[in-house]
Amino acid sequence: MGKREGTMDKKKFKVSPEMVDLRITQQQLNRYLWTAEISQLYTVESLDSRYPEGTELIEDTLNYLKATAFYKNNQGHLKYRGTVKETTTQITENMPYLYRSVLTYFASAFENYLVQRIRPLLKKKPRGWGPYYKSLDLPELWENNYPVPIDTIISADFCRLIRNSLVHPPFELPKDKKSKMVIEAKKRFTSELKDTGWWEEGTEVVVNSAVGQLIGGVTNHVKQSPEQPPELFFALFNFTTLDKLAFQIEEALMDSEATEEFWVHRKSGAVRRKELSVD
């Protein structure tokens, strides 16, 4: 993991090869997300300015492109037909689905990280990784000098529910703290946590706070940027939360004598186990 722009306020910390792989995937998805957004904005603004009426056929205005969309299918029809206006509208409407794909892809990458990093600690192979407060209910994670904070586990589990809502009908996202999904998640988390090693006095308050902060953060961003779909902010919070949980798992499990070959950048203030620093 080499030096990158934007990392000057960060330091390098030792982690497992599995964490490095997860971070690489996150960086690839970040680049995909932002370059796709740039492409969308440039294309829509460029076409709108060149063809303000938007009635021209897109295959005529962009016939110089070697786009598969403009090739004919087996029935002799173009794979895509539409006016400029129809096309720019469709491109804009595509963005929520792009953000959804980024969120679900990284969620899958995170669970692959768990397969590689956590499964060796388990007595039997898990059927699935959710809820995380159950699959990660291990003394190695909550009973050491650097236990994984329960609020991170709860936030990650709420992200897991968001991922599930995107891949299962009716494909709806919670709109605010009063949404049925949010209320039911708090109740379920609190009830089921009582049977785990994570439970301690005050956990119910932590559950309400962690879930409330995440959904509140998304709704605040939507209010500030109403032109953006909520899927964008759920995807960004998913990045942050799962990356944070993975690093805190590293803090709990890393051998202090581990090689400095594998490392990631992280803000020093977000790291409890300073001995992992390689700077």
Give the domain ranges of the chain: 17-253
Sign of the torsion formed by the C-alpha atoms of 13, 19, 20 and 22: negative
Output the pTM of the full model: 0.94
Q: Please answer whether residues 14 and 263 qualify as being in contact, where contact means their C-beta atoms are separated by less than 8 angstroms.
A: yes
Q: Nearest CA to 163 among 141, 139, 188, 132? A: 132
Summarize the confidence of residues 100-112 as an average pLDDT. 98
* 3-state helix/strand/coil string of 6-34: CCCCEEEEECCHHHHHHHHHHHHHHHHHH
Give the DSSP letter of residue 249: H
The 10s digit of each residue's pLDDT in 113-123 is 999 999 999 98
Rounded Cα distance, 208 and 69, in Å: 48
| Cβ atoms of residues 94 and 64 within 8 Å | no
Query: In the predicted model, what is the mean pLDDT of residues 38-62?
Result: 98
Largest distance between two CA atoms of the chain: 68
pLDDT tens for each residue of 107-162: 999 999 999 999 999 988 877 898 999 999 999 999 999 999 999 999 999 999 99
